[in-house]
Copies of this chain bind each other. A is one copy, B any other.
Amino acid sequence: MDKILLYGGKKAEYLVKFEPGRKIQTHLGVLTLPEKIEFGKRLETHLGKSFYVLFPTTREISMRVKRTTTIIYPKDAGYMIVETGIGAGSKVLETGTGSGALTIILATIVGDEGKVYTFERREEFFNNAIKNVKDAGLDHRVEFHHRDPVVEGFNIEPVDAAFIDVPEPWTLVEPVYKVLKPGHVWVSLSPTIEQVQKTHEALKDVGFIRLKCVEILEREMLVRPGKTRPRERMVSHTGYLTFAWNIKKE
C-alpha cells in the first residue's frame, strides 16, 4: 500500500496517496513529498510548519474512506474480529459492502492467504466501495459481488465467519446458513432494537445457537497535566452486535 498519514497536529491530518515529489495543499502550507516513504520523518511546509509521515493504520484508512453509507466503527469491528475468531488465512463473508470500511479491516486481517467475499446490491455503493478498497491496496484479497444474496444466494466456498450489515439481517439467515461452515459464527450489526429482535428470532428459527448481543462504547480520556478528564461528548450508539453459532441439521 502506498498511503501515508501526514500529521501536523490535531486539526492537520491528511491521509494521502504517496507519490514522489507530490505537492500536498494543507491549511498550514504546501508540503512536497520526498522521493520515498520514510515513516516517522519530519517534513516541512513552504510556511515552515512541521508534518510527520505516519503509518496509516487500519483505523485511519477505514474511517477516512469516501462514505456513501454509514460505516462500521473500529470499536465494533475489532470486537467482531476477536469474537468470530478470524485471523490470517480466514475466508470471510461480508454483506453489504457499504462504503468498504469493514472490507478494508477484514482484508487487513485475513491477509494474502485469506479472502473476503463481499456482496453489495446497490450499484452506487458497490462502485464507491471498490474504489475505496483499491485505494487501500487491498483489492487482491477481496472478491466483490454486485448482487442481492437474498434473491440469488451467495454461491461461494464455505466461509469461517459471516459479517452482516444490512437493514434486514433476518432475510439473510437462511442464505448465510448455507455458506457458513458448521459450528462457526454469524455476526450482524444493527442500529435498532427491533432489527435485533427480528434477527434473533430468525437465527433461532433456522437453528443458530448461543446467541449473544452486545454494544461497545468508546470513551476518550483527555490526559493533560493537572486537567485529566473524560471528553465531554461521545458517540453513544452505533449499533448492537448480534453473535450466533450455526449447527448441523440432523
Q: Tell me if B89 and A88 are in contact (CB < 8 A).
A: yes
- Other-chain contact of A39, B184, B200, B228 (Cβ < 8 Å): B184
Q: Tell me if B183 and A54 are in contact (CB < 8 A).
A: yes
* A206 → chain B closest CB, angstroms: 13
Q: Which residues of B contact A228 (CB under 8 A)?
A: 192-194, 196-197
* A186 → chain B closest CB, angstroms: 12
Q: Which of A185-211 contact B (CB under 8 A)?
A: 185, 191-194, 196-197, 200-201, 209-211
Q: Which residues of B contact A59 (CB under 8 A)?
A: 82-83, 85
Contact with B along A237-250 (1 / 0, CB 8 A): 11010100111101
* A78 → chain B closest CB, angstroms: 3
Q: Tell me if B227 and A192 are in contact (CB < 8 A).
A: yes
Q: How far is the CA of A219 from the CA of B184 in the complex (A)?
A: 23
Q: Does A53 contact B (CB under 8 A)?
A: yes
Contact with B along A70-90 (1 / 0, CB 8 A): 000011011111111111110
Q: Tell me if B87 and A78 are in contact (CB < 8 A).
A: no
Q: Which of A103-124 contact B (CB under 8 A)?
A: 105, 108-114
With A87-B111, A111-B89 as given contacts, are A220 and B213 in contact (CB-CB < 8 Å)? yes
Q: Which residues of B contact A82 (CB under 8 A)?
A: 57-59, 62, 74, 77-78, 81, 105
Q: How far is the CA of A181 from the CA of B54 in the complex (A)?
A: 10
- Other-chain contact of A223, B196, B221, B237, B245 (Cβ < 8 Å): B196
Q: How far is the CA of A16 from the CA of B228 in the complex (A)?
A: 39
Complex A-B, nearest 3 residue pairs according to Cβ-Cβ distance, in ascending order = A88-B111, A40-B182, A39-B183
A-B contact pairs, 22 of them (CB 8 A): A40-B181, A54-B183, A57-B83, A74-B79, A75-B79, A88-B110, A88-B111, A88-B112, A89-B111, A111-B113, A112-B113, A192-B228, A193-B193, A193-B228, A196-B223, A200-B223, A213-B221, A214-B221, A215-B221, A217-B219, A221-B240, A232-B236
Known: A41-B183, A52-B183, A55-B185. 9 other contacts (CB 8 A): A39-B182, A54-B210, A58-B82, A111-B113, A113-B113, A192-B229, A217-B217, A231-B236, A236-B236
